[in-house]
Structures are given as structure tokens and as C-alpha cells.
Amino acid sequence: MQLAKYLSVIVASTIKFVGGPLSGIALGLSWIETAVCTTLGMMLSVVAVTYAGAALQTLLQRYRPQTPKRFTRRTRMAIRIWKRSGLIGIALLTPLILTPIGGTALAVSFRVGRGQLLLYMLISGIFWAVVQTIALYQVPGLQQFFQR
């Protein structure tokens, strides 16, 4: 039964990072269990996108030799983050704004080395998992709300 709870938190945080701590509270896990499972979920997503993303990128280059020349608000924001703070900025914003999949895809698009990408995302994942989990566990009445 405990394994199912852990897997629920891991799956929730692969898609949206804050889903991990919220699931952990709802399932009655301790904050440390929730933070560890949230980090594992993010890293599962990061590893999958890192390796699949590189393969997809080479496939796209094969069939589309020229990259499209369009800039949207989103691409301008991504370039601004990259120019200001590089991989560290992307890694720090991934759990908060970009989601594990989006942040990793963005870093892969800037052709960051896999080892460096995995390390920075791990550090960011651990940091934000602890911060968000402790912060959410401190919200008065949130645990009781989920226990109803």
C-alpha cells in the first residue's frame, strides 16, 4: 500500500512539480517521503526528456534542414532566461514555472550536455522539493482539508 502512495507522488510530480507535494499531503506521507518522491518524479521526467529529446531533435533536423524563423513571446522569454543565467536559471525555474518536461526540453534545445543538465536539475529538484513540501505542510488546515 505504501508503494502505491509513493508511486502516486512520483507520477504527479513528473508532469507538474507541485503535484508531488500536494499528493503527498493528500496521501498522509511525511514531508521527507514527499520531498524524496517529488524529486524522483521530476528526475524521471528529466531523464526521459533528456534522452528522448536528443533523439527527437536529430529526427527533426533530418527532415527539416532549416529551422523555422519565428519568435513568439515564449521563445523570447526562453532566450532571455538563457542569456541572463544559462542552465542555472532554467534549472531553478523548471519546478516553479516551466514544469519538468518543459524546462528539460528548453535546456535540450540549447544543446546543454546531458551530465551537466542532469546534475543541475537534480540540485534544483532537491532544493525546490524540500522548500515546496515544507511550505505546503505548514499551511494551516491543508492536511485536514485533504483528510476529509
d(CA 60, CA 133): 38
Tell me which amino acid residue 48 is: A
Q: Parse the chain into domains and list their residue ranges.
A: 2-147
Phi-psi region of 66 (alpha: psi -120 to 50; beta: other; left: phi over 0): beta
Phi-psi region of 135 (alpha: psi -120 to 50; beta: other; left: phi over 0): alpha
**How many Cα atoms within 13 Å fall on the side-chain side of residue 8?**
14
Each residue's pLDDT expressed in tens, for the chain with a length of 148 residues: 799 999 999 999 999 999 999 999 999 999 999 999 999 999 999 999 998 876 777 777 777 666 666 777 877 877 888 888 888 999 998 898 888 988 898 888 888 889 999 999 999 999 999 999 999 999 887 777 776 6
d(CA 72, CA 137): 38
